[in-house]
Structure 1
Amino acid sequence: MTIQRMDNVAIVVPDLSAAIAFFTALGMEPGNSTPIEGVWADRTVGLEGVRSEIAMMRTPDGHSQLELTTYQHPEALGGEWANPAPNTLGLHRIMFAVDDIDDTIARLRPHGAELLGDVVNYEGVYKLCYLRGPAGIIVALAEQIG
């Protein structure tokens, strides 16, 4: 038995509309949005009284998805996990291949994106960078140059 595919990565965000705008500016395509609640949701995630909304975002090739989630109840947790450093244990970052890294960064800045370091040339093969996206997640960008 093997897995069939990786279906999606979920990101909990405080502002669903802002996150949708960020990932749309990145070049992802908005999909379905739906409220999530009920006993099945409580039992699935192990919380009581879940009320949330999800919005699916697809890459243009249709092979990858993000599930953006905002919680009305119970309230989303932040605190010490907000804006984690790149060496924090757990989910490290998500990376996207882009055709023009400088243009992509320029499109994302109005949506709150901030570079963590610099755009670097990796051995003449890629231009790479890390930036901070919605809910403090780290989004890596890679442009193949060689």
Structure 2
Amino acid sequence: MEKNNLLRMDNVGIVVESLDETIAFFLELGLTLEGRAMIEGEWSGRVTGLRDQSVEIAMMVTPDGNSRLELSRFLNPKVIEDHRAAPVNALGYLRVMFAVADLDDTLDRLYKHGAQLVDEVVRYQDSYKLCYIRGPEGILIGIAEQLK
């Protein structure tokens, strides 16, 4: 079986309690709100396995138009687990990494939205300056500036 059927990765999904707060954070990072919608009905529950679901989503897109985050707020059924405080060595999806033009400026702007540095900003050789931060609701993201 050939692997050339893969066309792209469409999006990464993140479940949140507050869409407005999370949208504001990712807008400050530089993403654009592509749209907001309610997803519900019998068809959607057959995809997720959560029958009778009602989910408000917001689709955020990167400036190049190639990458998206789907932010979801479950109204029904209620959220049953919370992994937001999981350490970076926990099993499962870890984080999304974003490339930025100016890491220090980006951090300054995100701090105003409650972002917290996980540990410190580091240099990887002469290639990158990078860090992990926790945004609204403890969402873990990485940001990296390529050094010239």
Give the TM-score, by structure 1 length. Answer: 0.95
**1:24-52: per-residue Cα shift (whole Å, max 9, x none)?**
00000111110011001111100122011
Asked if 1:33 corresponds to 2:36, the answer is: yes
Asked if 1:64 corresponds to 2:67, the answer is: yes
1:118 alignment partner in structure 2: 120
Distance, in Å, in 2 between the alignment partners of 1:78 and 1:143 is 33
Distance, in Å, in 2 between the alignment partners of 1:94 and 1:126 is 16
Matches within 5 A, 1:4-15: 4-15=7-18
| Counterpart contact for 1:12–1:135, Cα < 8 Å | no
Match of 2:106 among 87, 104, 107: 104
Query: Can you give the 5+ residue segments of structure 1 that lack an aligned partner in the other structure?
Result: none
Distance, in Å, in 1 between the alignment partners of 2:14 and 2:91 is 16
1:73 alignment partner in structure 2: 76
Q: What is the RMSD computed on CA atoms of the aligned residues?
A: 1.1
Distance, in Å, in 2 between the alignment partners of 1:53 and 1:124 is 42
Match of 2:50 among 42, 47, 51: 47
Give the TM-score, by structure 2 length. Answer: 0.93
Asked if 1:84 corresponds to 2:74, the answer is: no
Distance, in Å, in 2 between the alignment partners of 1:82 and 1:65 is 20
